[in-house]
Amino acid sequence: MRAFRLLGDYAGGMRYPDSGGLTPAARAKREQVRMQAAELFAAGVAPWLVAKQLRVSRKSAYAWYRAWQAGGLV
């Protein structure tokens, strides 16, 4: 069994150093979806419904909701 190194392996290093490996166009699309989510949150739509409507995971929708509540998604 090999031991973990703290840097370089996933346990200590970055798994996706460049925004998950997305292209600039895909990053722009993802940001557009996040902004749509913020608009829906402001309209009182529940995160699980935002996830369903925007076709994203519930985990993402709830993370965005927490960021929006904290003032981080505008």
Q: Can you give the pLDDT at residue 1? A: 45
Residue 59 within a domain: yes
The structure tokens listed for 58 are: 């519930």
pLDDT tens by residue, 14-59 = 555 655 678 889 889 999 999 999 999 999 999 999 999 999 999 9
Residue 63's domain comprises 22-69
Residue 56 within a domain: yes
Residue 5 within a domain: no
| Rounded CA Rg of the chain | 16
Residue 38 within a domain: yes
- Residue whose pair of structure tokens reads 């749509």 in the numeric block: 36
Grouping H, G, I as helix, E, B as strand and the rest as coil, residue 7 is coil
The total number of structural domains that make up the chain: 1
